[in-house]
Amino acid sequence: MSIEYPVKTPYLQALEDLSIALSTSEKEGISTAEASIRTKQFGLNSYKSQKQKSIWQMAFEQFNSPIVYLLLVAGLVSLYFKNSLEAIAIFIVIVVNAIIGFFMELQARTSMRALKKMDVSYAKVVRGGKELEIASEQLTIGDLLLLEAGDVVSGDGRIVFSNGLQVDESSLTGESFPVFKTSNIDNEKLESSHALNMVYKGTAVLNGNAKVIITGIAEHTELGKISELVGRSKSTKTPLDIKIGKLTKKLIWITLVLILVFVITGLLEGRAWLEVLKTSIALAVAAFPEGLPIVATVALAYGMLLMARKNAIVKKLSSVETLGSVNVILTDKTGTLTENKISVEMLSFPDQEFHVSMKNGKLKFKEDDIEKSKENFDFLVRIGTLCNNAPVNPDAKNQKAFGDPVEISLLLLADAAGFPAQKTVSEFERLSEIPFSSESKLMATLHKANKSFFVSAKGAVEKVLLKCSHIQSGDSILDLSAEKKKEILSKAELLSASGLRVLAFAYQSSDTKPDEDYLKDLVYVGLVGFLDPPRRDIKGAISECHSAGIKIVMITGDHPMTALNIAKRVGIAEEQDDKVIAGSELPDMAALSKEWKGRILSTTVFARTTPKQKLEIVDVYQKAGYIVAMTGDGVNDAPALKKANVGIAMGLRGTQVAKETASIVLKDDSFASITHAVAHGREIFQNIQRFVIYLVSCNLSEILIITILGFLAQGTMLFPLQILFLNMITDVFPALALGLGKGDLTVMQRPPRDPKLGIVSNRNWLVILIYAVLMSGAVILAIFMCRFYITSDVKVINNVAFITLASCQLFHVFNMSSLQSGMIMNEVTKNKFVWLALLLCFFLLIVVYFFEASREALNLNVISGQAWLIAILSSMLPLIFVQLYKLFRMQKSQSQQSTKNLNK
């Protein structure tokens, strides 16, 4: 018999009709033979995890960059002109850069594999009337699935029978509290994702047991739909990729313009075509900093390793720097800002209310005096312990494993208050239980202790009050009036409005055994407000983000008031702020008005949002020019994690879908780790900016020298291989050292940089030009001094120019310190890598000069000591000029500050 699949609105169909439509039985399920046929027809019950890049694809991507394309062209041109040494040097640069990037991404992939948790792989089903345990991927449509506490649901299904079934759907919906399930049809429920008579793939059973007819597997589950949404959402290009691309294009245009001017001028002057072409190649090699890709890759890789030490695994190199650009963090609530475990937050008795906290297993009240309500408190703790099906030795660190988290929190309260749950349970023998149901909305238990009987009850406030005739007020038991009931209901509504889940507690004590219906004439004791509490370190981390100019926005699937309560407690929202946008309020994003965009951008709390809406909110921020980081741990967060500029998943509690999608995974699930990572990202950008200015100013000096010598003294012009040597040795190692330096300590006390600005700003270009002119001037001075005092031999003059420029560029690294830092002790002089780089570079210069083969390759000759002296002294002039200027600026600044202080 053919069946209709996917099944439409199974939560609205009668069980008999659904069984007929799926050709299955509510008692015996489908046969094993039929299951095999359906598996072939509908496929396995496994969603397609995001396709991981192959090793070859990862390797190829290292070459997919404008910088690499330019280097390849330069290498091929060198080969064409039979300059094999130049070509080999350029190709080595490309390969080294690719190897570094490849192995760092491979390391991140290995770290991710180490983080992966084993998924639940088996399911219990009834087939042909027999119970079987099968691989969860073999589950198929019409299967009768058996569920009990501790199981992870293997497919979407309609509940046939349930006994106190309670499911944690937080990974799918973002809801903090577990959901009680029923087999009844809710005609008002129009959305399948929250239907009370359905269970969903990937959610966890906390309590009770059930039989379920499977109505959806693989991509036709709620989990599968979200996974498909992840596949459709596009990854966003990182700011660093964009900025380096822009810088590369700018350098290409500068090079082409200079070459064009030089070629036209040379041909008009009647110079030989071959000479003009060789000079043009030299200009092309000089114009572009070949070491830039290597230095950028190593700086990012170093940052990646530092972040790993701070519990942040970075899966893509460019994400390291992108974090430093972030100016808004969109964060999930459950499990990210909160502990993802329920605790007692508030106790409300007839005469007193208390905020509750527990530390190191001990109970702490914000108010000391509880004498008025001591009797109520004692009874409430006893009721919470006895009217409870959670294990009596709960593990506070692993509340999700067994039992209702609300009931576990009541046991922890009893232990912390000095009434050990195990002792109470052993003293009061349980005789019977009236289980919680979605209709009654309360639970009650009957106990015997010695010769007396004790009834304990807890549940929805209005339901419990209907069963109460008296109220505990201190040591006295009084009649419960209608006015008092209204007062209690008003208190409960206020607590609920603040985002707490509220339960009422009542009891009855007698010397005779109560009737079978013992839910009557109860004594009301008090209310308990429950909350998923904020993580301990979260408030400080958010405060640090605000100091750094980063906006924090909460986007959750939880209740609006619960979300606002947490937002206020952690510092996301102001105490007087009452603005929350619920998902049901949000209009269709395709036709979003300007007013609505403004509302979205000015709101800090979004509640009851769907995965699609989270994705769209990220898009609104990105289109407004923000660099967005998105944090989350659930399946429902995955599409937005992929869409964001930086997706950050929780490594401990995060679902595998979220971890696969994100570009950064936190090993400790701590929001504080994000602030450390942002600080590293900002430091890394400072380092990148510093070494880019260094490299570009060095290369611009080479362009100016070649252009000037090309017009004035063609024979003394630097050779392409000499320039390549400078670019790869005297430029790269100092630049690399700058890239590994420690950042500014005040990096998190300043607002994020403007994402529209490039790596090199207009002011930076002016500074670069000044540096280049100073270095070029030093080289030209050395050439004229050599010609005037020593010799006019073009080979010697070429060598003096080469040595002067090499030394000049090495000393130039000390000009990269900030204006605010000291002359002697600053971020550059304190950087040990800078000193190691200088020693290495000077050593390599000496080695190259003293070996005949390397001298011949670089067109070097043995020159006199006088020539060496002119070269070294001339090379120090730019450093002296820059440092004198900085000293003048510092003194002027100090003088102005002193004048301001005197005026005050």
Catalytic residue ranges = 332
> Helix or strand or coil: residue 117?
coil
Strand partners of residue 133: 124
The owner of tokens 């709960």 is: 394
Half-sphere exposure of 419 (CA within 13 A, CB side): 18
Terminal CA-CA length for the chain: 93
Residue 761 and residue 501: Cα distance in Å, rounded? 53
Residue 441 identity: K
What DSSP designation does 30 have? B
User: Which residues have C-beta within 8 Å of that of residue 893, sequence separation ≥ 6?
Assistant: none
Secondary structure of the chain: what % helix, strand, coil (to 5)? Answer: 50, 15, 30
Distance between CA atoms of 304 and 108, rounded to whole angstroms? 9
What is the identity of the amino acid at 632?
A: G
- E strand or H helix at 568: helix 560-570
Contact 299, 317 (CB under 8 A): no
Tell me the sheet residues that pair with 510: 453
Rg of the chain taking only CA atoms, in angstroms: 36
Task: Please count the other Cβ atoms lying within 10 Å of the Cβ belonging to residue 229.
Answer: 20
Cβ atoms < 10 Å from Cβ of 840:
14
Pairing label, strands 605-607, 581-582 = parallel
Stated as kind and residue range, the H or E segment containing 344 is strand 343-348
Measured in degrees and rounded to the nearest 5, phi and psi for residue 194 equal -125, 15
Report the alpha-carbon angle 732-811-763, nearest 5: 80
Closest CA to 771 of 651, 850, 885, 606: 885
Sign of torsion, CA 201 206 209 210? negative
Q: Tokens 């304990």 — which residue? A: 456
Q: Cα-flanking dihedrals φ and ψ of residue 617, to 5°?
A: -65, -40
The set of residues, in sequence order, having a beta carbon less than 8 Å from that of 606 and lying 6+ positions away, is 553, 554, 555, 556, 563, 580, 581, 582, 583, 613, 617
CB under 8 A, 24+ apart: contacts of 189-195:
189/11, 189/12, 192/9, 192/10, 192/11, 192/222, 193/222, 193/610, 195/11
Q: What's the CA gap between 127 and 453, in Å, rounded?
A: 45
Indicate the SS3 state at residue 449: strand
**Of 233, 235, 244, whose CA–CA distance to 316 is shortest?**
235
Q: Which segments of 460-563 are extended strands (E)?
A: 468-473, 476-479, 501-510, 522-531, 551-555
User: Dihedral of CA 531/532/533/538: which sign?
Assistant: negative
Are 124 and 132 in contact by the 8 Å Cβ rule? The answer is yes
